[in-house]
């Protein structure tokens, strides 16, 4: 899919964890030559590290990066987005595709800081993008072509999977896939703690818990079966699994996870209004 972005000159503005993950994914995908990527960061030392690691062009001048680009990816913190937009708007033309991964910044807010008619895509990635297993959810601004979408999906497919949703869904997306990795990590930690409590060494318990979560997710994804059906296939009458599930159900596990998604979604709304 990364080949959809072939032939594009890409500027990555911000070389933090997500910016670097995108650079690594695009370069390893092979569809875009490293010298077609310009990575810009306010820290010269960070830019130099990225240049040596990935062979892309780097610098500290955001305008220079954007001027040479067909696609400008804004991988900066939300608190910096207005300053960066004010810098790069002089380099944005009607043919430039602007992609923002700044959490909570709407299409409308991005449009206010860019020339009229700018082509904009907002993306909510998540932490597993760092190991190219991310879930990136795209919100499309007005006036985009099929080619624009293909290019954006090509870039983010380099670090995982993509979906396209309407912007009103993005807060719920945040509650599920944006915050979701933390819930899963808590589950892994709890499984490992349970193993330690039952006498397993910590390293063995953590390996068991981590691979169990990874393998189960892959199983569900590959089979496409509803999780409840797969769960029932593991659950023998009177066996160990139903005994454990009974404890989780009595403790409200299912409801608590659902409530966590609800609260995270509402907090996303609160943060936007703040």
Does residue 119 share a domain with residue 85? Answer: yes
pLDDT at 1: 58
SS3 228: helix
127, 134 in Cβ contact below 8 A? yes
Which of 119, 146, 167 is the C-terminal boundary of a domain? 167
Measured distance CA(1)–CA(182) in Å, rounded:
28
Does residue 134 share a domain with residue 243? Answer: no
151, 123 in Cβ contact below 8 A? no
Q: Name which of 6-15, 104-113, 159-168, 258-267 the model is least confident about.
A: 6-15
Does residue 186 share a domain with residue 148? Answer: no
Average pLDDT along the chain: 94
Does residue 241 share a domain with residue 134? Answer: no
Does residue 65 share a domain with residue 99? Answer: yes
pLDDT at 69: 94
Contacts of 161 (CB under 8 A, 6+ apart): 134, 135, 136
pLDDT tens profile 40-90: 999 999 999 999 999 999 999 999 999 989 999 999 999 899 999 999 999
pLDDT tens profile 224-254: 999 999 999 999 999 999 999 999 999 999 9
Burial 223-232 (b: 16+ CB within 10 A, else e): eeeeeeeeee
Which of 167, 194, 214 is the C-terminal boundary of a domain? 167
pLDDT band at 8 (very low <50, low <70, confident <90, very high): confident
99, 155 in Cβ contact below 8 A? yes
pLDDT at 273: 75
pLDDT at 143: 94
Q: Name which of 30-34, 217-221, 260-264 the model is least confident about.
A: 30-34
Does residue 125 share a domain with residue 221? Answer: no
pLDDT at 98: 98
Token pair for 237: 């009458």
Does residue 109 share a domain with residue 22? Answer: yes
How many domains is the chain partitioned into structurally?
Answer: 2
Does residue 51 share a domain with residue 22? Answer: yes
pLDDT at 6: 66
pLDDT at 274: 72
Per-residue pLDDT, averaged over 8-30, amounts to 91
Does residue 266 share a domain with residue 213? Answer: yes
SS3 164: strand
Does residue 193 share a domain with residue 88? Answer: no
Per-residue pLDDT, averaged over 98-113, amounts to 94
Does residue 42 share a domain with residue 105? Answer: yes
pLDDT band at 107 (very low <50, low <70, confident <90, very high): very high
Residue 210 has pLDDT above 80, yes or no: yes
Residue 175 has pLDDT above 80, yes or no: yes
Range of the domain at 152: 2-167
Asked if residue 182 is part of any domain, the answer here is yes
pLDDT at 3: 61
Measured distance CA(214)–CA(248) in Å, rounded:
20
225, 234 in Cβ contact below 8 A? no
Quote the DSSP letter at residue 175: I
End-to-end CA distance of the chain: 37
């Amino acid at each position: 899919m990364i080949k959809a972005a072939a032939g594009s000159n890409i500027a990555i503005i911000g070389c933090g964890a997500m910016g670097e993950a995108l650079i690594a994914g695009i370069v390893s995908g092979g569809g875009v030559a490293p010298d077609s990527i310009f990575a810009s960061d306010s820290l010269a030392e960070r830019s130099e590290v990225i240049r040596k690691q990935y062979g892309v062009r780097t610098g500290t001048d955001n305008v220079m990066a954007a001027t040479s680009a067909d696609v400008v990816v804004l991988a900066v913190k939300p608190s910096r987005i207005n300053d960066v937009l004010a810098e790069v708007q002089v380099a944005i033309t009607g043919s430039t595709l602007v992609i923002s991964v700044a959490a909570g910044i709407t299409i409308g807010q991005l449009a206010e800081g860019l020339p009229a008619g700018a082509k904009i895509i907002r993306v909510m990635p998540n932490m597993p993008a760092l190991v190219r297993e991310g879930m990136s959810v795209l919100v499309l601004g007005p006036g985009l072509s099929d080619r624009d979408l293909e290019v954006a999906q090509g870039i983010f497919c380099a670090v995982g999977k993509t979906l396209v949703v309407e912007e009103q869904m993005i807060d719920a997306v945040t509650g599920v896939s944006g915050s979701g990795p933390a819930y899963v990590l808590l589950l892994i930690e709890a499984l490992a703690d349970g193993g330690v409590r039952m006498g397993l060494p910590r390293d063995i318990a953590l390996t068991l818990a981590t691979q169990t979560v990874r393998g189960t997710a892959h199983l569900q994804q590959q089979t496409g079966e509803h999780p409840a059906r797969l769960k029932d296939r593991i659950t023998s009458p009177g066996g160990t699994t139903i005994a454990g599930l009974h404890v989780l159900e009595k403790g409200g596990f299912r409801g608590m996870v659902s409530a966590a998604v609800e609260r995270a979604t509402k907090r996303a709304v609160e943060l936007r209004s703040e």
